[in-house]
Each structure stands twice: as C-alpha cells, then as structure tokens.
Amino acid sequence: MIESPNSSGKAAVLAAIEANREFFRIGGRDSVARRREMLRRMLGFMEKHKDEVFSALNADLHKSMYEAAVTEYLPACDALRYLIRKLPQLARPKRGGISWMNFPARGRLVPEPYGQALVFATWNYPLLLALEPVAGALAAGNRVVLMLPEKSQRTTQFFRWMIAECFPNGEVIAVREELEFDEILNEKFDYIFFTGGEAAGRRVYERAAAQLTPVTLELGGKSPCIVEKGANLSLAAKRIAWGKFMNAGQTCVAPDFLLVRQELKEEFLVELRRWIRFFYGEEPVSNPDYPWIINEQEYGRLAKLSENGRLVAGGERNPDRFCIAPTVIDGIDWDSPLMEREIFGPILPVIGFQSAEDILARLLMRPKPLAMYCFGGNRRFRRTLLDATSSGAVVFDDVVMHFVNPELPFGGVGASGIGAYHGRKTFETFSHAKPVMYQSTLFDWPFRYPPFQGWKLKLIKLLTGK
C-alpha cells in the first residue's frame, strides 16, 4: 500500500466542512449521474486495490484473505453495485396519495439529501461498516465527513488513500487525529450515522439532540441464541460456532449467549466442541485463519471474563498475539459478569433452561437486543417468541446471515440502536422524503371557506355524525 497523504490539519478539515455547508447553502445538488460516478470511482478503487484491502485487514485484525473477502470486501462491493444499479429508481420521485379533502390535487414524494452527513466508522469491521453508510449518503446526494476509528490503523490509512484519490474535491472528508470525538460533535451536521458502543452512542445522541440533528445509531447488545427441542443439534452447533467466532467474536450481531434446553445441553456441547475443532483445529491460537483481538486492552478484558464459570471448550490464550481461542463456558447464571454487557469477543456463555415460559419472561426483562436467534422450537413457541419479544431482528435456524441481505433492513431497537440501513433502506436513511402537492386551479371546493352556515354546516354535521 502506498503511504496515505499527510494529515491536512484541523484548520483545513474545518474549512472543507464549511465549504460543503456552503455548497448546500447556495442550493447545490449533485445529479444522479454524478452520484453514480462517485460510487463507480469507489468501486473501481476497491477492485484495483483489493490486495491492499486484505493486507490492511490482516494487519489490524489478523483476518485471513478468505474471511476478509467474505465478511468485508465482497459485501462492500455488493453494496456499491446495488446502489449504482438501483440509484435512478431510488432517486425518482414517487407518487403520493391525496385525501378527498385535497381532490383534485396530485401528490409526490421527492427524495432530497439532508446535506452534510457525519459517519462514525468502527474498528471491528473497519472497511464494510464505514464504506456502506458513506456510499448510501453519497447516493442520496449528501456530502460526508467520515470519522475513522483509531484502533484499526492500517484500514484507516487505506481509507485516507481512497478518499484522497476518489474525492479530490472534498465530497468525502476523512477525519481522525485532526478532530477529537467531542470536537467533531461540536460541528453542526445535517445527519449523524454512528456505529459503536452504547456509551459512545449515548454521547452522540445527546449532542445531536441539542442541535436537533437526526441520527442513526447502530449499537449492538447482548443477542441471545436459543436452542430448543426440535433443533438439528449438529447444524445448530455448526452455524453458531461460525457466527460467534468469526472475527474472533468481535461482531455486533454475533450470538452473545446461549440458552439451551437442559435435556439437550450435553449433546449440543459435544457438537459445538466438534465444530470448533473442525473449523480452527486443536490449537486455534496458532491457526493462521483465526483472527486476533484488536489490542491489549480488549485482550485483558476478555481474558478476565473467561475466568468465570466452568470451561467446556477452548480457553487457550496467546498474549503476544492478543489471541484467545474460541471459548465456551457453562455453569453461568443470569447474574454472572458474562451477562452484564455485550462480550464482543470469542467467549460464549451457556445457560440451561427447563421452561420456555421462564426463558421468555427473562428475555422480556432485558434490554432489547440487536438480534434474537432461535434453533428448533414448535410453531407455538416461535410465534410467541416473535410476537412477545422485541429486537432489531429475529432469525430462525441461522445466525448473522440476515446482515448480508440487502432486501432486509438492518438496525436495532431501544438499547440496541435507532434506525436501519442496507440496500434500499440505506438510501432512504440518508434521504428526506419531501412531500410535494400540486393543486388544481380549475376547481376550488367552497366548503373550506367561511362563512360556515347553511349547507356547509349541514355537511359537516353529516360528516361528524352530530
């Protein structure tokens, strides 16, 4: 990878932000053709420099080329291709309904950009979770300030290079050390898109509220995974092991804890251990395809968490690499430190249960998760789970894969986030659907004008049932 351009400094970044404000202040708009050209430049750069992408993700998170391609590069390219292909249709005004009181008017919904969007990227999927919202904001006609994560330094360097090459006119501005977290929030933006932890998300929400700035918050949370009677235990264990330990568990939508029917638990744990060995071998910490923890601080936090409960799989650690093997822990209760907050690492606590009613009651007492997963269960149980609980998404007999479906919006609810994106929803998130009404001048209903007497009064009494 070539060296990224030198930081342009705080003053230059603030001047570029102000220039984009001025662009919208004087009525500037990027045509659909120009937006598609910007997206094509991004896609072309990604395709030309995919080896540098893989190198950066390996340097930051020790992702293998295969995992980097499947979880970041290919979904990011697919998101760009989707927007390039669909943008003329997405940006076209839509017909809006008209009430009888407005007849014979015509209504339209015209998508317009908010203006300047602030996008906070995050370190666990530093390519995909930055590029997709940036692409959506550009597709909707916005200009973008991208706040890059500090922890994934090589991918941050790659983004600086890409933005310098693809956006020499400042349509996208990269920021890291030029402005601190609180400094960037002092600036006035027209939309804020944040991906990260709940504590930082609250700070973003508070500062946005002070300026009445609309937000999307993608926050994560403790996503439960239920294994109930009727589940294919081997397939469930295979999919859970993949979804949980991909990216060393540093995935916001990964299963955070397991709820397994007590009579199935021992057999299920046998299958889970088998699939972990199949995926990562007898020594995962030496496996070149197994990712590492992002830094020493996160490694220390996770190492301490892994000392709770009864170890039933994994537990090996390599402090020199910040690597923790896929770890499964039994003997956990609802008050364990492992159940206090999102684990965000390769540790999977297991809780056995006897009663489906008890599990549902427990879940209803907890904050709303980003996802809820369920393997097995009869039709009544699944219907109750779907109707009685609230979560960003519900997935039956799989984990994580809903994230890559552009036809299903992705986002949280309550403590797990506000708003959603992916596919069409990404464009809609960064667009204001402006209602426009065209009223006829050939006819004018007299009933709305005073004086309100005679037939008008009789009509309104008839309509209101008085």
Look up residue 239 and give its two tokens.
């999919």
**104 upstream amide cis, omega within 30 of 0:** yes
SS3 state at 375? strand
Which position among 77, 166, 225, 252 bears the catalytic label? Answer: 252
C-alpha separations of 154 from 35, 55, 175, 218 in Å? 27, 8, 14, 23
* 3-class SS of residue 1: coil
* Active-site annotation holds for 283: no
Q: What span, in angstroms and rounded, lies between the C-alpha atoms of 182 and 259? A: 39
- Strands (E) in 246-346, as ranges, are 257-261, 310-313, 317-318, 323-324, 327-330
Indicate the SS3 state at residue 231.
Answer: coil
Record the tokens describing residue 94, joined without a space: 């839509």
Q: Dig out the tokens for 412 from the structure.
A: 């949280």
d(CA 161, CA 1): 9
C-alpha 395/C-alpha 67 separation (Å) is 22
Q: Is 252 a catalytic residue?
A: yes
Q: Three-class SS of residue 411? A: strand
- 284, 326 in Cβ contact below 8 A? yes
**How many other CB atoms are there within 10 angstroms of residue 380's CB atom?**
9
Q: Rounded CA gap, 172 and 400, in Å?
A: 30
- Tokens in use for 110? 């015209």
Which of 218, 271, 342, 428 does the annotation list as catalytic? 218
Residues annotated as catalytic are 218, 252
